[in-house]
Chain A
Amino acid sequence: MTHLTKTTRLATLAAAVMAVTACDGLLDVDSPGRIGDDDLASADAIPGMVVGMQYDMSQAVDGGLEIISMASMELFHGGSYGWSEIPRGVIEDDDSTPWSSAQQARWVAEQGIVRIGEILEPAQFAQSPYAAEANVWAGFANRYLGEVFCSSVIDGGPEIDHAEHFSRAEGYFTDALAIAQAAGLDDLENAAYAGRATVRAWQGNWTGAANDAEEVPIGFTWWAQLDTEMRNEITYETHSRFEYSVWGTLFEDHPDDPRAPWEIELNADNSVANGANGSTPHYKQLKYTDRADDIALAKGTEMLVLRAEAALREGATGIPAAYALMNEAREDGYGMDPLPVTATLAEAWADLHYERLATNWIEGRALWDYRRWSAETGPAQNNELDGRALCWPIPESEKDANVNFRG
């Protein structure tokens, strides 16, 4: 029998070890399609970063619209999806929530602004259309969080009052406005004015809100943009599936309002079709009919109604001005007949409530309107959704993951 020498054995072992360990780059892999964090530290990446902000904001608005519309009774749950008690106005911290996508939209925009600021020189930043747009997205993301959630968190921090998002949004809109004006960017300027008008109003600064709103043309709209890939879920769920119905909502009684269009879905035998739950008559909303239909975040007609609300807050003296503004929106914005001017503040507020709800129908805004109106006293108060939850709590998922909430 031939024996290996010790040297031979060691050499064999060494060869085996070296074969594996000595190859430089042996474990390096290169997979396309993954974008590294460092790749974003470049001026070339700025346009993509801003598109990402738009994408995340659109996804947040689109993704949350179904449950917000059910919570605000703009749509009735007539389908088979399990939404816990949300359709009945009970919202728990472990229910479906738009929290994650909304927080991502805010974080992406806010962090993006910091990144853009690090990449561009201050003078470039001050006139950059990308910086202006980034600030607009940061503003709307904060407004969304402030409107939808009962309280909130910034970047994994402790719980804060939801209204902090409004002041935060005002800051971003103000920055956007300055950059847009410096760069001569009309659309972004209008968007910043429209956004700031709303968050100023929500903070009680109705004069400032009205002033900003006045700057926005009636035909202007700033959208959460969708396309055939990031589809409009409401379109799909009301046209392809029958999950949500206008039946049982406020607008069931307003079949001819062009701002809230719907129709009764009929079977082949002309009977009323039921929703996917088999029992709810399917009254199909027609505001969104294409899977790529965008969702408005701010628009000139809303600005008119906002100014009308500001006018009513002046008391009875503001009634004529309020009706003038509401009717301007109706006539010039939607080709509708004007409302007759009423004599009492209560009737005027009732009209204002309806006009605002109709103007922003299924845009994810009504829940906040009910929430703030329910907190009012006097004729401005609206108790239509009393007994129902009017905001989303910070979800269990955030509280479980956030060290500030762990006892």
Chain B
Amino acid sequence: MIPPKLVRNGITVALTLCALAWSDAAVAQDTGRITGVVTAAGTMRPLDGAQVTIQGTGMGALTNAQGRYLILNVPAGQHTVQVTTLGYSTISQATTVQAGGTAEVSFTIEETALALDEIVVTGTAAEVRAKEVGNSLDAVTSRDIENLPVSNTQDILSGRAPGVTIMGNSGQAGAGGSIKIRGVNTVSQTASPLIYVDGVRIYNEPTRAGWGGRQSTNPLQDIAAEDIERVEVVKGAAATTLYGTEASAGVIQIFTKQGVSGDPIWTGEIGLGASRMGSFLADTSGDPTDLYTKCGNLDDLYSLNVQASPSDPTFGDRVYMQDPTCPADGDWQELGPIQQYSVSVRGGSGDVTYYLSGNFNDQQGVLPTQGSKDGGFRGNFGFAPTDNLSFSLNSSYTRRDTRWVADGNNAVGFLLNVGRGAQNYLKGGKGDDCAALPADRVCITNGYLFDQDLLTQGDHFITGFTAEWNPLEGLSNRFTVGWDYMDLKNETTRPFGNLFTPDGYFWDENTTNTKLSLDYAGSFQNSFGDEVASTFSWGGQIFRDYRRWTELDVGTFAGPGRPTIDSGAEVTYRNENQVAQTSAGFFLQEMVGWKDLLFVTAGMRVDGNSAFGENFGLQVYPKLSVSYILSDYDFWPSETFETFKLRAAIGESGKAPPPFARVRTWSAANIEGLAGFTPGDPGNADVGPERTRELEVGFDASAIQGRIGVEATYFTARTTDALIGVDLPASQGFLANRTTNVGELQNSGFEFQITTGLLRTETFDWRFRTNLSFLDSEAVDLDGDPDFDTCIYVGLLSEICEGERFPVLVGDMVTNPDEFAAPVIVEDTAIGPTYPTRMIGIGTTLSIGNSLTLDALLEHQGGHYLTNYTGYQNGRRGAWFPCFEIQGQMIEAYEGNASALDGVTARERTRCAISSTVNPEHGYSSDYWMEKADFWKLRQITLSYRLPEGLLAFARSATVNLSARNLLTFTDYSGTDPEVQDFADQTGTTVGGGEFGRRDYYQIPNPRTYMLSVRLSW
């Protein structure tokens, strides 16, 4: 027989779903209501979104924009009302509700820069108070981001968490970025952090890049920013030990919004805006055509004929061009409209809570045909049939449709052709395209670049079911089963009649990623007398990953029409890759607290993995951390310095080898209809995970009523048994390298987070938050041989070299760049790291009254280098405006005027080199274009206006936001954008796949984005 309570709750769920949670408001005669206002101490500003609950009843409500809440149908009698909200102290009040009456309970709560009693999940076995954690904690909450222009969820972390590097790889709408936590600590495996959404591990690597678009998306993009309640960043092996073998690159924990008891609260937002590049080059002062994108600027549309023989009479002459396919306004750049819509409802009744949402975003790019649309749904349900048992089901679905412009190192890429002026691949056009052009102009026809479709379509479904059972006081059990399904389709179509491929071409790639996770964690809290407390935790996880990737190239079509894989006469390439990997492990942890002042936590994780070699057993990762709350001592001047926590942690985590590194395999070798075998992976029966041991020390402090908060951390991490693809002699038959645990890597750094409240009055509230990170690294050993200095090429001109920071650009360096002299060149030297070593985020929020808020974030990344391949390729082709005058002087010098180069610096001589004939002493090389990529960007600036209460009668609150993103860039970088990356791909296990090396190769830079949005809550 089904228990009546379950039946009742089931009916409640059904009714809730059908009616989107509008419950009957009938008030029983023996109930009353509780209402009140929640305001912040000091500023006396009302707090929106604070959660007010009646303890022991499951009843509650959220405050509105005026800080007011209302809880109906409260049983008459005595109750304790509690209010919690992130960034503020938790506070309770007792009250008595009379039948049919209204109890007024208002709160004034203290803001705290360091909420030691705040409950966190970060890197722990169970929810704990922040004061008990010995690691640094970083979280971004919905309150931090609710008014920001977030078109991509990765933007949430940009400049907001020390040690986290977010790089926007491309300005194409829909493109994902690169995320690294505390730099790169591997040579051959993915350096992307693990991602958890509501306790479910999801696919965490950038998706496969489209063949022509050469950009990928990031799974974080599939989590709608509007749905996010909180993001916690778990940095470093000392904090991620309990996550085990795959966690040494860090963990990002995302918690989405949940339902709360009370009447349904709807939130809707409409945003309209546009993207505009401004310019393609970071510095356009020397180029009136903005890399030839202003194709209507005919007077300046020329390059230099430096590719002819120097004896040719036209050598060095201007070559004028004209594009009959140039847009009517003379500019390839367009205004890219943006639309964003979202709606959500949250509420609950009795034992059931819900949060439902939907969103749709349409972002058109700044180039013709480019754009991205995505949308999806989320349903989060909570069900608590008894006081000690609860269930939650959190599910989301996202659909993504991105149409790329061909990008990067691609013969039919946009900037590679348009940006090269006359030296492109699309000259002559079709039919009479060029007939009307003057004879002395080269006819370029870049409009045909858009005669191709480059699509990425993705479906991403994430669901997780969690059961929590707390049968005894102090004992908790949580079990989660999660399923992550991501299907991605990439297509490149060049139709029949295409200028570049007249017979047509069709490339079709399908990738399916699934991840099943089973996760159990239990904990038991106990105390021994008044002074000693204990929390013992245990748990186990199983993760099963599967990926299937198929790829097919088809060519030679019979005629026009949309191609399919069976309509081409030739299959020119096909590939299938299936990978399954399973990991399983368990952990044990004991935390002992003394007088609520000192907390010592010791734990270990034991892991097995299907990728471990046959001769390799389970792995044990230990951890130990200490947290010491000095500010709770009597001697501490807590009136001024209210909190001070010292912390230290040491721990290990790892990274699994690739799935097939352990066994010798053969691959398919098919030719002319015959099937055969060719050597695949040489196999290594001894392969195991690489292990990172990290020591982290620091302190968290706040002072002057939370006006100043400081978090400082130093970490040092040693990765041993680093997985290196060791080359085997090709004469032994296997060309793939053998994945071997022979490397040793070192990472270290300082991180600071400083928050300051400069002004806190009822009228003005002005605060700053500053994040600073300084990272260092060294490749200590790459081959296990101290006598052999090894460098490993990791793609895109980047290497990992013993004794150097890693990854590092290696090339020929001009040591006297600014001298007016012949260049002095040091060959094959480490020039600089490819990822930033210095990150600064300075944010400020100024609130005026209760209505107007100005929020801005300035971000700096520096210390790293990038190769301006665009400049290199254009320079030697006579298509780089800043070189024109210099190249003229070079030709003069070549023709005998030795003094012609007197005013030309060594850097200019190498970069603008024409050929080894004209410049025999150095020639041209992309190495000379490796340069510092430091930049400051005004990431976002937002002006928010909260409409006065009552202006919209039906609304709880209404806010209008006017925002801009990437409005200003300050950099000396000579290319398009110091953040861009060619061929960003998920293939972290493949050398050169975009994880380690970076280069700017005719990439579309990140545009400015302007948004006007209205958010209503009712």
Answer yes or no: are A and B bound together in one complex. yes
Residues of chain A having any CB pair with chain B under 8 Å: 1-4, 9, 12-13, 16-17, 19-21, 23, 26-37, 39-40, 45, 47-56, 58, 99-101, 103-104, 107-108, 111, 152-157, 225-231, 241, 267-268, 277-279, 291, 395, 397-398, 400-402, 406
Question: Is B954 on the interface with A (CB-CB < 8 A)?
Answer: no
| Contacting residue for B585 out of A20, A53, A101, CB 8 A | A20
Neighbouring B residues of A228 by C-beta, 8 Å: 555, 570-572
Which one of B13-21, B352-360, B624-632, B729-737 contacts A? B729-737
The verdict on A108 contacting B538 (CB below 8 Å), with A29-B659, A51-B669 known, is: no
- Contact A229 B584, beta carbon cutoff 8 Å: no
Known: A104-B730, A400-B727. 5 other contacts (CB 8 A): A17-B586, A31-B660, A104-B679, A227-B673, A230-B671
| CB pair B680 A34 closer than 8 Å | yes
Q: Among residues 658 to 707 in chain B, which have CB atoms less than 8 Å away from a CB atom of chain A?
A: 659-660, 663-680, 683
Q: A49-B676, A51-B674, A108-B678 are in contact. Are A401 and B574 (CB under 8 A)?
A: no
Question: Could you list 28 A-B pairs, sorted by A, with CB under 8 Å?
Answer: A1-B474, A2-B472, A12-B538, A16-B520, A16-B538, A19-B520, A21-B608, A27-B582, A27-B612, A34-B663, A34-B665, A34-B680, A36-B664, A37-B665, A48-B676, A51-B676, A51-B677, A56-B678, A100-B735, A104-B678, A153-B729, A155-B731, A156-B729, A227-B671, A228-B571, A229-B571, A268-B434, A401-B729
Answer yes or no: B107 CB below 8 A from chain A CBs.
no
- Distance between B666 CB and nearest chain A CB, rounded to angstroms: 4
Question: Do B730 and A397 touch (CB < 8 A)?
Answer: yes
Q: A107 to B665, alpha carbons, bound, how many Å? A: 15
Contact at A398–B729, with CB atoms within 8 Å? yes
Q: Which residues of A contact B411 (CB under 8 A)?
A: 241
A227 close to B672 (CB less than 8 A): yes
B559-583 near A? 1/0 per residue, CB < 8 Å? 0000000000011111011111111
Question: Which of B522, B539, B572, B673 has the most chain A CB atoms closer than 10 A to its own CB?
Answer: B572
B598-630 near A? 1/0 per residue, CB < 8 Å: 000000001011101000000000000000000
Q: Does B713 contact A (CB under 8 A)?
A: no
Chain B residues at the A interface, C-beta cutoff of 8 Å: 307-309, 411, 423, 427-428, 434, 472-475, 520, 522, 524, 526, 536, 538-540, 542, 555, 570-574, 576-586, 588, 606, 608-610, 612, 659-660, 663-680, 683, 726-735, 788, 877
Give every chain B residue within 8 A of A107 (Cβ-Cβ): 679, 731-733
Within the complex, what minimum Cβ distance (angstroms) separates A132 from chain B? 16
Inter-chain contacts of B676 with A (CB < 8 A)? 47-55
- The answer on a CB contact under 8 Å between B666 and A16 is no
User: B670 contacts A229, CB within 8 Å?
Assistant: yes
Q: Whose C-beta in chain A lies nearest to the C-beta of B878?
A: A278
Among B578, B610, B664, B672, the one with the most A-chain Cβ atoms within 10 Å of its Cβ is B672
Whether the pair A33, B428 counts as a contact (CB closer than 8 A) is no
* Min CB–CB distance A234 → chain B (angstroms): 16
A34-B660 in contact given A49-B677, A400-B727 (Cβ < 8 Å): yes
CB-based nearest A residue for B544:
A29
One of B538, B576, B669 near A55 (C-beta < 8 A) = B669
Which residues of chain B have C-beta atoms less than 8 A from A230's C-beta?
671
Q: Are A20 and B572 in contact (CB under 8 A)?
A: no
In the complex, chain A residues whose CB is within 8 Å of the CB of B606: 20
Please, how many angstroms separate the alpha-carbon atoms of A48 and B574 in the complex?
18
- Report whether B610 and A29 are in contact in the complex, using a CB–CB cutoff of 8 Å: yes
* Least CB separation from A112: chain B residue: B677
Check B680–A35 contact: CB distance below 8 A.
yes
Q: Which B residues are in CB contact (< 8 Å) with A36? A: 663-666
A149, chain B: closest CB distance, angstroms:
11
Q: A4-B472, A12-B522, A20-B585 are in contact. Are A31 and B580 (CB under 8 A)?
A: yes
Partner of A156, one of B536, B674, B732: B732
Expressed in whole angstroms, the Cα–Cα distance for A16 and B225 within the complex equals 36
Complexed CA–CA distance, A241 and B571 (Å): 20
Bound Cα distance from A310 to B758, whole angstroms:
96
Asked if residues A28 and B540 are in contact (CB atoms below 8 Å), the reply is no
Known A-B contacts A99-B730, A156-B731, A225-B672; A30 and B580 likewise in contact (beta carbons under 8 Å): yes
What residues of chain A lie closer than 8 Å to B475, measured between beta carbons?
4
Assess the B584–A100 pair: CB atoms within 8 A.
Answer: no
Residues of B within 8 A of A17 (CB): 540, 586
Hey, which chain A residues are within 8 Å of B674, CB to CB?
47, 51, 54
A142 to B490, CA, bound (A): 42
Closest residue on chain B to residue A277 by CB atoms? B307
Residues in B whose Cβ lies below 8 Å from that of A229: 571-574, 670-671
* Complex Cα spacing A105 to B582, Å: 35
Flag if B678 contacts A16 (CB, 8 Å): no
The interface centre, meaning the residue of A12, A53, A55, A100 with most chain B CB atoms within 10 A of its CB, is A55
Decide if B675 touches A48 in the complex (CB within 8 Å): yes
Kindly name the residue among B673, B675, B676 whose own CB sees the greatest number of chain A CB atoms within 10 A: B676
| B683 vs chain A, min Cβ distance (A) | 8
Q: Is the CB of A16 within 8 A of B472?
A: no
The answer, among A35, A39, A111, A291, for a CB contact under 8 Å with B667, is A35
Chain B residues whose C-beta falls within 8 Å of the C-beta of A39 in the assembled complex: 666
Contacts of B671 in A (CB 8 A): 51, 54-55, 58, 225-227, 229-230
Measured in the bound complex, the distance between the Cα atoms of B726 and A17 in whole Å is 36
Contact between chains at A31 and B579 (CB < 8 Å):
yes
Which single member of A37, A47, A58, A278 contacts B423 (CB below 8 Å)? A278
Whether the Cβ atoms of A103 and B733 lie closer than 8 Å is: yes
Compute how far the CA of A32 lies from the CA of B667 in the bound complex, rounded to whole angstroms.
Answer: 11
Q: Which residue of B lies closest to A223 (CB)?
A: B672
Q: Which residue of B434, B588, B665, B671 has the most chain A CB atoms within 10 A of its CB atom?
A: B671
User: B524 touching A9 by the CB < 8 A rule?
Assistant: yes
Which residues of the partner chain A approach B428 to less than 8 Å between Cβ atoms? Answer: 267-268
A153 to B728, CA, bound (A): 13
- Within 8 Å CB of B669, what residues of A? 51-52, 55-56
Bound together, the chains give a CA A47 to CA B675 distance in angstroms of 8
For the complex, give the distance between the alpha carbons of A156 and B583 in Å. 36
Bound CA span A241–B734, Å = 31
Query: Can you name the residue of chain A whose Cβ is closest to the Cβ of B553?
Result: A229
For A278, list chain B residues within 8 Å (CB): 307, 423, 877
Instruction: Give B427's nearest chain A residue, CB to CB.
Output: A267
The reply to whether B732 and A155 contact each other, CB–CB distance below 8 Å, is yes
Q: How far is the CA of A241 from the CA of B522 in the complex (A)?
A: 63
Q: How far is the CB of A378 from chain B (nearest CB, A)?
A: 37
Quick one: which of B555, B570, B610, B675 contacts A27, CB cutoff 8 A?
B610
Contact A279 B308 (CB under 8 A): yes
Q: What CA separation (Å) do A245 and B582 show in the bound complex?
A: 52
For residue A111, which residues in chain B have a CB less than 8 angstroms away from its CB? 733
Please state if A35 and B524 are interface contacts (CB–CB under 8 Å): no
Name the distance in Å between B555's Cβ and chain A's nearest Cβ.
8
Smallest distance from the beta carbon of B676 to chain A beta carbons, Å? 3
Q: How far is the CA of A225 from the CA of B669 in the complex (A)?
A: 13
Residues of B within 8 A of A19 (CB): 520, 540, 586
Residues of chain A within 8 A (CB-CB) of B472 are: 2, 4
Residues of B within 8 A of A54 (CB): 671, 674, 676
* Contact A51:B730 (CB < 8 A) given known A27-B582, A279-B308: no
Quote the shortest CB–CB distance from A90 to chain B (angstroms): 12
| With contact pairs A27-B584, A29-B581, A48-B677 given, residues A35 and B731 touching in the complex (Cβ less than 8 Å) | no
B434 contacts across to A, CB distance below 8 A:
268
Q: Which residue of B lies closest to A45 (CB)?
A: B677
Contact of A406 among B309, B522, B582, B788 (CB under 8 A): B788
A274 to B309 CA separation, bound complex (whole angstroms):
13
Give the docked Cα–Cα distance between A242 and B729 (Å). 34
What are the 5 closest A-B residue pairs judged by CB atoms, nearest first?
A: A51-B676, A107-B733, A52-B676, A55-B669, A100-B730
Interface centre among B428, B582, B670, B733 (most CB of A within 10 A): B733
Q: Is the CB of B679 within 8 A of A108?
A: yes
User: What B residues does A291 contact at CB under 8 A?
Assistant: 570, 572
A12–B523 Cα distance when bound, in Å, is 10
Q: How far does the alpha carbon of A128 sit from the alpha carbon of B428 in the complex, in Å?
A: 57
The distance in angstroms between the C-alpha atoms of A268 and B609, with both chains bound, is 61
